[in-house]
Amino acid sequence: MLDRMRALNPDVPAEYLVQARAEIAAPKSQDALEENQRVHDILVHGFRGISYLDSAGQEQNPTIRLVADRVEDNEFLAVNQVTIRSRDIERRFDVVLYLNGMPVGVMELKKPGGRAADVAAAHAQLATYVREFPLAFQFCVLSILSDGRTARYGTPFTPLEHCAPWNVDGDGRPVRYGEVLDDEHTGTEIEYLIEGVLNVERFLQLRRNFVAFDSTGDGLVKRIAKPHQYFAVTKAVGCTVEAVEGEGKAGVVWHTQGSGKSMEMELYTHLVAKHPRLKNPTVVVVTDRTELDGQLFQSFDRSLLLPEKPIQITSRADLRAALADRTTGGIYFTTLQKFGLSPEEKRSGIDHPLLTDRSNVIIVVDEAHRSHYDDLDGYARHLRDALPNATLIAFTGTPISFEDRNTRKTFGEYIDKYDLTRAVDDGATVRVLFEPRLPQMRVAESVSDADIDRAADEAAAGLDDDERARIEKSVTVLNRLYGAPERLQAVATDIVAHWANRSEQMRAFIGGPGKAMIVCATRDICADLYEQIIDLRPDWHSDNLSEGTIKVVYSSSPKDAGLLAKHRYRGAEKKQIQTRLKDPGDCLQLVIVQNMLLTGYDSPPLHTLYLDRPIKGALLMQTLARVNRRFRGKQDGLVVAYAPVADNLEQALKEYTATDREQRPVGQNLDEVIALTRQLIESLDALCAGYPWRSKLGAGDQRHWMKAVYGTVEHLRAPGTPGNQVAKGEPTLADRYRTLANQLARAWAVSSGSENLAELRPIARFYEEVRCWMAKYDAEQRRAEGGTVPAETQRLLETLFEQSTASGEIVDIYAAAGLPKPSLSELTPEFEEQAREADNPHLAIEALRTLLTEEVRHTTRNNLTRQRAFSEKIRELMNKYTNQQLTSAEVIAALIELAREARAERDRGQHFSPPLDEDELAFYDAVHENESAVEQMGDDVLGKIARDLVQVMRRDIKTDWTVRDDVRAKLRSSIKRLLIKYKYPPDKQPEAIRVVMEQMEAMAPRLAQEQRDAA
């Protein structure tokens, strides 16, 4: 690192570069994300913390660069198997990527084919590293996860569901995995990801311009662009440069809702602001709704990427003053209506006044549709009158209507498209399923379909003082059709029952009930439906804004009376409800709305939408997209439609891509999922046919139920079960069960509300219980093997625990095996006999392994040699059992013997005179590994070496010697002299020195801390 700093900063004296490096690396916080943001800012902008007097006596305060702008002036290095250590922990990173000596990337790679070795496990492992070694990630720009088949990238702080593939070619076009390109490219995910993300030119671009931090009330958030965002933004910037120098029409970016359009607008604003050919432009972000304006402004206001803080325009006068007075720069947010004329200007028939004729003004319009703007031609004219030389660009989440030619005429052609299907395939969003549940609704003969459509359109436009009479008439139509008391009662009853089941099914995937939105036709219906629901569930109601399970949010007026006035909230109070709806830990679960929150509002835990209003076109698609956000293990959003919108959905999809119309990632009918559910249960029945679990249910009580579950788990996991001895890389019987049961759980989460599946409910519940217990044993195995438990598995286990606690059953792997939970002092011959005769011997083996692993970790926590020895013995035993080289009785006996040996580990040092303490014993084991040394020197001499090694270490541990080459060299020399003094076999000394140094590195942080505490 210092060498590159010298090369990049030749005018700065070397001693000040050494000082700068020390200050950059010195942590200002123990929080990994805070440190990462601090160092990221230095990597991008340089370091300005050093000042000195030059030879002429002038004070210098240079900006010290760590990274060069030109690729060829930087040094890139990938290093595998990088070991880091702390007081009690040693970890080995698979690959670390260095830029100019700084660790800017981490790759966590899992062995292909392993059951516990997938991308989720790699992500969990990386999260463990961040938790254990927060300061190791100061410089880290991004992380890469792969199991050989799947590959994802993100940052070390990115949730798994938001890690992305790089599945495009060099031009941003989607690729097809598995297509062999040439002798060196087999078309795997990891190949495309490495060539995309680790292309050195692109990596530097990502680091500088496509990594963003947000400052939120809950702390920092780090984000990195996904491939569709990277290419859309770079194309948009290029089109903008051409448009500024041409006709002022940059074009339209169509990226489907939920795919990160707000971040694209943020990255775009950042890049155009610094582009030299754009001359420090003024950026004006325009929306058509105050609510949307506020939400988008907040997302920009949180960003630490932008060159200056955005300003939200509050009035027409503020807008005119801001744009007229500004000559460069500025990021402004305004609604489209503020470009309108004042009443006086309308009456006099004059044009909109000129605000500026500068060409370095960029108008960024969000959701540029005629259906949204009503009078796009008029506003486009006002924009041109006010800013005649400005450049316009539009970002939209829904495609431009075939009939909306004026949008393209105003903004230009498409810059980039990212449709619904790609977003779901990439994991940017989840698919949205459609379940029609139509209550009977009688329509008066005097009301036509056209009247209903017109009423819906007019209500959706919101109340307008100039047209109040006509709008109120339309609202009356909707109230009569959708708000009939008996109909609302039926809808309320169905929602309460459906949500009870749906929210419970989602717990295993997202760790809680999640959230739902209920969309009604009018404000009156919203208020009436609330009363119907709390009549059924009075415990859901609360007058306190920060409490209660259900709330109502709509635009209100001081003139509101009766039930309408009950839900009249100020702006800040509405924001509080919106915040609660985003918080997965808040007790608020359902919100009833009419128009608010249907566009631009993101609540990732929101997974169910109850739609009870006529709606069509772009607004329909935007509304459905409220439930398509990724969140933890959420795989699907569900729309329960009480209003007849199926035909409108078909019509809206006609304007999407051919792939979207064919795949239907939004609007797939639930009947298809119900059919899949039946098929999966049939497949699981066939898979479990070797164990008669139905006959074990007996009287159907909880005890017999759990006995059948435990027996099925034993059958699926036991090595001797047919189907569990397979060729390497092939799925075992247990693997196939996991796959099918996971698919069933996800299908059941959206289909279980259907009456068509009522007879399958007990069977689905049984297979889900088995899935939970399989996950519990998988988690125990991961821990025993030193791995980490993925977040999704952890959520499943928490659900199992909650259910078991509620039912009075204790989640205990020993009880499942038919054993009492022992301590190591209770491993008597009687216990061994009991284990061999257990109802589920394989589960007994897994329980014993867990007990033994926990004890070994405790007794050998500071002794690498013994830790590795015990772990290897356990691994070897389990491998022999899995391969059926040992019977269950033999492996139980061997595990119990190992457990006794582990218990005796505590007292091993007492056999020496004088006794060896824990640290001395660790070094004794390190030099004892060599058999010839043991034969020649004996235990007493090796014990003396161990005591002296501890003294050497305590003497030299005055600083973090693991990063001081001089101290390491001194220690190595001291160890060598000590071995020579005691005549340790010369040919074995290098290996002994290596093992002793490893042990010292593992022990050093603890001893150093003890010395600091003593001082």
Confidence of residue 459 (pLDDT cuts 50, 70, 90): very low
The 10s digit of each residue's pLDDT in 464-478 is 444 445 555 566 777
pLDDT of residue 639: 92
Sign of CA dihedral 444, 448, 453, 454: negative
Confidence of residue 369 (pLDDT cuts 50, 70, 90): low
Q: Which of 148, 143, 109 is nearest to 36 (CA)?
A: 143
pLDDT of residue 460: 42
Q: Which residues pair with 768 in a beta bridge?
A: none
pLDDT of residue 407: 63
| Cβ 622 vs Cβ 420: under 8 Å | no
Q: What is the DSSP string of 460-513?
A: HT---GGGHHHHHHHHHHHHHHH--HHHHHHHHHHHHHHHHHHHHHHHHHHSS-
Q: In what order do the strands lie in the sheet with 151-154?
A: 76-85, 90-99, 102-109, 142-146, 151-154
pLDDT of residue 461: 43
CATH class of 1-213: alpha beta
**Is the model's pLDDT at 611 over the cut of 90?**
yes
Distance between CA 582 and CA 585 in Å, rounded? 9
> Quick check: pTM over 0.75?
yes
- Mean pLDDT within 24-30: 90
The 10s digit of each residue's pLDDT in 571-594 is 889 999 999 999 999 999 999 999
Tell which wins on pLDDT, 790 or 638.
638
Range of lowest pLDDT (62-71, 315-324, 831-840, 980-989): 831-840
The 10s digit of each residue's pLDDT in 729-742 is 788 999 999 999 98
Q: Which residues pair with 85 in a beta bridge?
A: 90
Range of lowest pLDDT (200-209, 278-287, 857-866, 941-950): 857-866
Q: Give how far Cα 773 sits from Cα of 352, 777, 940, Å.
A: 69, 6, 50
CA atoms in the 13 A half-sphere facing the CB of 611: 32
Sign of CA dihedral 904, 910, 916, 918: positive
| Cβ 396 vs Cβ 368: under 8 Å | yes
Strands (E), 529-679: 550-553, 590-593, 606-612, 636-641, 666-669
| Cβ 277 vs Cβ 244: under 8 Å | yes
CA dihedral 109, 110, 111, 115 (to 10 degrees): -170
Taking domain 225-418, whether its CATH number is 3.40.50.300 is answered by yes
Amino acid at 318: D
Confidence of residue 495 (pLDDT cuts 50, 70, 90): very high
Look at the block and give the residue holding tokens 């938001």: 162
Q: What is the DSSP string of 691-719?
A: S-GGGGGTT--HHHHHHHHHHHHHHHH-T
Distance between CA 566 and CA 573 in Å, rounded? 13
- Mean pLDDT within 283-291: 88
Fold of 431-664: Rossmann fold (3.40.50)
Share of the chain above pLDDT 90, in %: 41
Helix axes 670-687, 733-751, angle to 10 degrees: 150
Confidence of residue 152 (pLDDT cuts 50, 70, 90): very high
pLDDT of residue 450: 55
Q: Do 225-418 and 431-664 agree at the fold level? A: yes
Distance between CA 593 and CA 581 in Å, rounded? 12
Residue/partner pairs of 947-951 with CB below 8 Å, 24 or more apart: 947/916, 947/920, 948/978, 949/920, 949/923, 949/975, 949/978, 949/996, 950/919, 950/920, 950/923
Task: State the average pLDDT for the chain.
Answer: 84
CB burial string 209-224: b at 16+ within 10 A, e below? bbbbbbeeeeebbbbb
Distance between CA 984 and CA 987 in Å, rounded? 9
The 10s digit of each residue's pLDDT in 50-92 is 998 888 888 889 999 999 999 999 999 999 999 887 766 778 8
Distance between CA 836 and CA 820 in Å, rounded? 13
CA dihedral 80, 85, 91, 97 (to 10 degrees): -30
pLDDT of residue 962: 53
> Where do the domains of the chain lie?
1-213, 225-418, 431-664, 675-811, 829-910, 918-1014
pLDDT of residue 807: 44
pLDDT of residue 517: 97
Distance between CA 395 and CA 785 in Å, rounded? 49
